[in-house]
Homo-oligomer: A and B are copies of this chain.
Amino acid sequence: MYGPILAKDAKITGGFWKDKQDLLRDVTVQAVYDRFEETGRFGALCGYWKEGMPKPHIFWDSDTAKWIEGAAYLLMGQRDAALEEKCDDLIARVCALQMEDGYFNSYYQAMEIENRFTQRGNHELYCLGHWIEAAVAYDQATGKDALLQACRRYVALVDRVFRVERSAGFDTPGHEEIELALYKLYRHTSDDMYMTLMRYFVDTRGVPGKDRCVAHYGGGSFYLQSHQPVRRQSQCEGHSVRAMYLYCAMADQAAEDGDEELAEACRRLFENCAGRRMYVTGGIGSTHQGEAFTEDWDLPNREAYAETCAALGLALFARRMVKLDVKGRYMDAAETALFNGALSGLSLSGDCFFYENPLEYSPLRGRIARRIPETPVHCAIGERVKVFGCSCCPPNVLRVYGSLQEFLYGESEDTLYVHMFAESEARTRFGVVRQKTDYPRVGSVEILPPEGEYTLAVRLPRWAKNVCFRVNGEEIRPEVREGYAYIRRGWSEGDSVRLDFDLPVRILRAHPRVGEDAGMACVSRGPVIYCLEGADNGEGLADLALRSDGEARVVMDETFGLPIIALPGSRSVPDDPSDPDQTYPLYADRPYPRQAADLIFIPFYAWANRGENEMRVWVREE
């Protein structure tokens, strides 16, 4: 059976992602900690509230848990006494908070303990799910299991109340997360009870008569994916982060149980997402209304919500789909989200964040949306901030990019999988595998496989062109199936598999049914989606047009960590109000004069690092 190589068994040792993980270690982990400390999230773990203290929020525990989980991944790579002490301290507070029967939740214990397990929308099981993920990671990183034991006692309570007695005020979580966490706990402890409880939550969800839906948002049962039994679902509905976490659990369960019916549901949902409801950046969830999916092909750029957490969720779901089918399509989507729609959530400085990741921004539209302060129209912000009221994204960035090595490798009885390219090493059942590469800066990768007789399977990303394989210097033509190249042989110490491929600038177009992108193109190279930004191209980006057959210049940029791209195009000749011959009317019955212009594209994830300015991903074609 296929299994991933977990974060604890792999390590990124160089290149683009190493730089990002170093940034997390050097800046982000402390920055998020400081903001959470300041806003009272850690203080809330005292379990009481009195006038003068910030009021604890129902999701604060999840923020703290995700921070600990993220810190744990950093500790896996490199122990750090000061960071570990912070974690230990927070964990000690959680353990002190735990009630006799196992329950702990800083919001409920402080504010309304009598109402615990009654409000489906109040994130209790969601918070527990994140505590579990943190506990497993921290145990793996440090061997300290205090949080893990606390979680196991709490889960025992949940199992009794929800599954055995069915005495809670609702049946399945309002915000999914505990399901995939229970699966992690099961894998970590091998205790079947967790798998049983996970199956219970997954299979009860949306079943008429069994899953009471307490609609707490306008989308009703769709909002929280309870509109149908999960096995019957085929369209991504409702709150997009909730949806992704549910689908993660469904994929985990389908793979674990060899449950083909559930696997089919996962495949339908993935195809609906990646085939009709996903931005080219890997962002998902088109509307701020319920942070939700809308309808097929509805992908407005300026209004895109495309929450950072949702793109991270898509990457986590796609990674799990590989357990069902080894197809390049899945990791293509994961890599797209990781390099674009999720990474844009983090500033280059490592301490500021976007919650929303629109594909177009203009200060003008932002100004107009916010011009009546009493009744603002929703519009994404144009500069990253240090913390949000609902600050789920910053620690999610920390934990997912902190464990990015978990995306790289997988294994089955006779095959070692290389899913993503990054300078790295990993412990597998076959021995230690290594990659040497500076991908995606360049298109060459050297894989050093461990000794033995097995198949090496290497994913060929959709954007890698003219791939050439060499084994010990000798070109081979491996069998390629569904985006993976398969090389079976007896491997010896010192063997080297080398891939060289082109990473051309690719001009992408959207399916014609995506009306918002009609007549426009998007520039990409490798997994990276590019954008125009005002800082490089001046005001009025909508006026710029791309000559899509023009020759691209690709120039490495140290600030962004990846190249910038210049492409030929055109722009209007500017008005000259002092010269009547160059003052153009508002509407005219002939084209306004244009002139050639170089269009400068930067990686989408790097926008909004030079002050508030215009940005657009989709650019019109000449």
Contacts and interface: CB of A to CB of B under 8 A. Distances in A.
Contacts of A217: 372
A508 B276 contact: no
B372 A511 contact: no
Nearest to A522: B587
Contacts of A364: 295, 298
Nearest to A360: B515
27 contacts: A218-B372, A218-B374, A219-B372, A289-B368, A289-B371, A289-B372, A290-B372, A295-B367, A298-B364, A300-B365, A377-B378, A506-B589, A507-B589, A508-B587, A509-B588, A511-B585, A511-B586, A512-B540, A512-B543, A512-B584, A514-B586, A515-B540, A515-B541, A515-B542, A515-B543, A519-B545, A524-B589
Interface in A533-571: 540-543, 545, 571
A362 interface: yes
A298 B362 CA distance: 11
A377 B376 CA distance: 11
Given A278-B586, A589-B506, A592-B512, A289 B518 contact: no
Given A542-B518, A543-B512, A543-B513, A371 B294 contact: yes
A275 interface: yes
A372 to B, nearest CB: 3
B298 A368 contact: yes
Contacts of A218: 371-375
Interface of A: 217-219, 274-276, 278, 280, 286-287, 289-290, 294-295, 298, 300, 362, 364-365, 367-368, 371-375, 377-378, 506-516, 518-519, 522, 524, 540-543, 545, 571-572, 575, 584-592, 620
Contacts of A584: 511-512
Contacts of A362: 515
For the complex of A and B, list the 8 residue pairs with the smallest distance between their C-beta atoms, beginning with the closest.
Answer: A218-B372, A515-B542, A512-B572, A518-B542, A519-B620, A506-B589, A512-B543, A289-B372
Protomer copies: 2
Contacts of A545: 519
Nearest to A583: B275
Contacts of A511: 575, 584-588, 592
Scoring A218, A512, A585 by chain B CB atoms within 10 A of each residue's CB, the highest score goes to: A512
A238 to B, nearest CB: 11
B375 A509 contact: no
Contacts of A541: 515
Contacts of A507: 589
A57 to B, nearest CB: 20
Contacts of A374: 218
A590 B549 CA distance: 11
Scoring A218, A289, A572 by chain B CB atoms within 10 A of each residue's CB, the highest score goes to: A289
A600 to B, nearest CB: 18
Given A218-B371, A219-B372, A587 B519 contact: no
